[in-house]
Structure 1
Amino acid sequence: MNLIEVKNLHFSYPDSDELLKGINLTFDCSSTAIIGQNGAGKTTFVKLLKGLLKPVSGDILICGANTKQISVAKLAAYIGLVFQNPGDQIFKSSVYDEVIFGPLNIGIPAGEADENTKRALEQVGLESKVRDNPYDLSFSERKLVSIASILAMDTRIVLLDEPTMAQDYPGKRLIKALIRKLEREGKLVISILHDMDFVAETFKRTIVFQDGKVRIDSDTKSVFSQTDALRAADLEPPHVTQLSHQLGYDEAYLTAEQFVADRLRERQKLKTGRS
């Protein structure tokens, strides 16, 4: 089942050139990264999915509902968006109040909303911060508060705009685990990212936007195998992929673990052949 269908989507802001030009995409439950240079149309596309903007022409169906015919408030029950800057999202004076606002606002009963809030804060490691003012936290912690706010709403679709911004290694590992957990639960996670290493390690599908169009759309390994197409979009493969190519290997490795495992198997075969 497709959770999102995008049909011949065109969009432009008033008195500006066309920004999105005939986008056709469908999304099931496969975790998906959207990559591309600034100005490629990624953030505008995600805002259209959320219903914050309306198509100039074409249609977007979210769980069967056309975004032209449903309010943003009603759409919030299906799809949640974590903004790039948590300052654009956070407005309550305590972490708990911030996270519980979303579930209550979409009609989840108070008891269930409380349980969702506590569980979401545990998932992002902020259960000890429930009474803190979000603006007394670090930027990376505020980003996690924003993520918890959407997790607590329990939507079928989660949109993440640069989720790894300002996150250290443990923070990135936590977010990666959350994305995989959501995918196992049958939910769709779509994320805008500039961190190619995180994309390679985390997402099954990757879409490349360039000049308002979809230039590449495939499984992540296939996308990062297309070196010339990536270069044309001013993108670089993950560091491990670049390193393996520099060492003379053709395969597009997505993680260092995969690369090391193959080298160990190769070494073992050589040892076996000599014995």
Structure 2
Amino acid sequence: MTHLVLNNVSFQYPDGTQALENVSLEIPQGQRIALVGQNGAGKTTAVKLMNGLLKPTTGEVIVGEWNTTSKTTAQLSRKVGYVFQNPDDQIFHNEVIKEVRFGPKNMGFDLERVEEMTQWALELCGISQYAEENPYNLPYSMRKFVTVASVIAMDSDIIILDEPTAGQDKIGLEILGNLLETLESLGKTVITITHDMEFVTTHFKRIIVMANRRIIADDQAMTIFYQDDILTESMLKPPAVAQMAALLNIPHAVLSKKELIAYIKSHYQPLSSE
């Protein structure tokens, strides 16, 4: 089982920009976590430290039994798979299937497992029909799924998705939701950066909020989206359902459409047709 631990981690870029300050975090294997906050909060820096793309200026990042400072990014990719925010920064093959196949092949899987993981990842991401296409002939939303599939096929214990909801329509969000549930059922840890608060409340039990280069909250949605101080500091807007509940002066936390509709039906009488 691969635990992920950040112990009092800070990071400063070579130009002197301080990106993280004294961040401590523990993530057991198998959790599904949303990492939220405004641009510049430190989210992407934090996840790049998790897979070794960056090394901490101070503190330590532990992945399983490994300290990331003593391992290369290639070594860490066996434990931590990272999907970039921009798919065009990651895709370099001229066929979707070659792109997805590259990861497991490079990991040294035997040919049978390479094909098994490749086909499974394509199907899970809903892009099997595009296997022979050039990724750059696909729309942005589908290119994002190409990169997700290429990382999933590597069978890493920890998978980081940086803004996977960007540019997705309803069908794409449904595929992502099903994908998250499948990975969790397989014991994978999935850390997802997203600005889509509706997606967060629907698909994540644990939410980590970052602001001003540090973690300011680590809790469930019911707590986070009803704490004004957290929302103010992080500049996050609660999901639309919570905003509607506030307008209706509902005296308890509401985050699901089903619960909101039930409350309205029980407390408001329909207008008479007479």
TM-score (norm 2): 0.93
Aligned-pair CA distance for 1:253: 2.1
The secondary structure found in structure 1 opposite 2:13 is coil
Aligned-pair CA distance for 1:174: 0.8
The residue number in structure 1 matching 2:26 is 26
Aligned-pair CA distance for 1:126: 1.1
Q: Distance in 2 between matches of 1:213 and 1:113?
A: 39
Mapped pair 1:118 → 2:124: no
Read off the aligned partner of 2:77 and give its amino acid letter. Answer: A
The residue number in structure 2 matching 1:55 is 56
Unmatched runs of 5 consecutive residues or more in structure 2: 270-274
Alignment of 1:40-79 (within 5 A): 40-79=41-80
Read off the aligned partner of 2:89 and give its amino acid letter. Answer: D
The secondary structure found in structure 2 opposite 1:225 is coil
Counterparts in 2 of 1:78 and 1:2: CA distance versus 1, 3 Å: closer
Answer with 117-126 or 254-263: which moved more: 254-263
Q: Distance in 2 between matches of 1:250 and 1:214?
A: 28
Q: Distance in 2 between matches of 1:234 and 1:125?
A: 34
Mapped pair 1:12 → 2:12: yes
Aligned-pair CA distance for 1:258: 3.0
Q: Distance in 1 between matches of 2:47 and 2:74?
A: 16
Say if 1:225 and 1:251, in contact at 8 Å, map to a contact too: no
Aligned-pair CA distance for 1:232: 2.3
Aligned-pair CA distance for 1:220: 2.1
Read off the aligned partner of 2:251 and give its amino acid letter. Answer: D
Q: Distance in 2 between matches of 1:261 and 1:153?
A: 43
Aligned-pair CA distance for 1:75: 0.7
The residue number in structure 2 matching 1:80 is 81
The residue number in structure 2 matching 1:247 is 248
Structure 1 runs (4+) deviating above 6 angstroms are none
The residue number in structure 1 matching 2:185 is 184
Identity %: 41
The residue number in structure 2 matching 1:166 is 167
Counterparts in 2 of 1:252 and 1:64: CA distance versus 1, 3 Å: farther
Q: Distance in 2 between matches of 1:43 and 1:7?
A: 17
Alignment of 1:157-236 (within 5 A): 157-236=158-237
Aligned-pair CA distance for 1:262: 4.8
Superposed CA deviations along residues 157-194 of structure 1, whole A, max 9, x for unmatched, are 11001001111001001101111111122111101111
The secondary structure found in structure 2 opposite 1:68 is helix
TM-score (norm 1): 0.93
The residue number in structure 1 matching 2:92 is 91
Superposed CA deviations along residues 13-57 of structure 1, whole A, max 9, x for unmatched, are 013132210001001222111111111111111111110000001
Aligned-pair CA distance for 1:254: 2.2
Q: Distance in 2 between matches of 1:250 and 1:9?
A: 39
Read off the aligned partner of 2:8 and give its amino acid letter. Answer: N
Aligned-pair CA distance for 1:245: 1.0
Say if 2:2 and 2:157, in contact at 8 Å, map to a contact too: no
The secondary structure found in structure 1 opposite 2:70 is coil
Say if 1:2 and 1:27, in contact at 8 Å, map to a contact too: no
